[in-house]
Amino acid sequence: LDEADNLVALMQSRVQGSLRISSSVAFGRRVLTPLVLRFMQQHPGLQVDLSFEDRYVNLVEQGVDLAIRMGRLADSSLGARFLGLNPWVLVGAKAYLAEHGTPKQPGELAAHAALVYSTVQGDERWHFSGADGHSVSVPVKGPLRSNNLSALLAAARAGMGLALLPWYVAHDSVKGGAVLPLLERWTLPAQEIHAVYPSPRLVPTKVSGFVAWLQGQFGDEWWARRL
């Protein structure tokens, strides 16, 4: 462990220059930005170009040093390091639940207004797993589809329907009581979070140093604490 710690310290001591990072909009704004700012404070010789967009970014063509990717990695030629899991939660506002009732089983969601994240839930089906391993796929429909998670959270808070959101998006609203978590006995698919970079072999110190530091920032229920 001492040797590994010394290696991380050595890499971090040499982190400098320009680092171009790409991420999805919601994760970048809510999670990655505060982490990057903290890392930059520790490494004043580092200049960061931080880009957020909800589309696939070709790292080589666009000159990106590092990207944060959710879900299964499609390109095996990239270097990658696992950071953690991105769990999801079903939420609804008290006003909506008071008017329409609180679902007790996934099958009841077909009778509710769904706020659909079109990027991931494009087929308008929500997937759940029970404690016994039984899986349920539920067709849903509702008044709003969006590729923006913040828009769906705002709609859920306004009582327009139920939303399936990453915990890192919903946590503060759940903690503050604006929305309530639902169907907590059921498990929702969690995405893997990876830091990816153009080559698994030729990794600049500024990239390996940041990734090594980043891996230490995630853990159990990382979304419930300020990273």
In this structure, how many other beta carbons lie within 10 angstroms of the beta carbon of residue 32? 20
> In which domain, by residue range, is 107 found?
88-182
H or E element, residue 47: strand 46-52
219 with 145, same domain? no
- Model's pTM, two decimal places? 0.85
177 with 219, same domain? no
The number of domains in the chain is 2
For residues 119 and 56, the answer to whether their CB atoms sit within 8 Å is no
What is the rounded distance in angstroms from the CA atom of residue 90 to the CA atom of residue 112? 12
pLDDT by 10s per residue, the chain, length 227: 555 555 555 555 578 899 999 999 999 999 999 999 999 999 999 999 999 998 888 999 999 999 999 988 877 788 999 999 999 999 999 999 999 999 999 999 999 999 999 876 556 889 999 888 789 999 999 999 999 999 999 999 999 999 999 999 999 999 999 999 999 999 998 999 999 999 888 889 999 999 999 999 988 788 887 55
Helical spans, DSSP H, in 66-225 = 94-100, 149-157, 167-175, 205-215
| Closest of 183, 154, 158 to residue 169, by C-alpha | 154
CATH number of the domain where residue 79 is located: 3.40.190.10
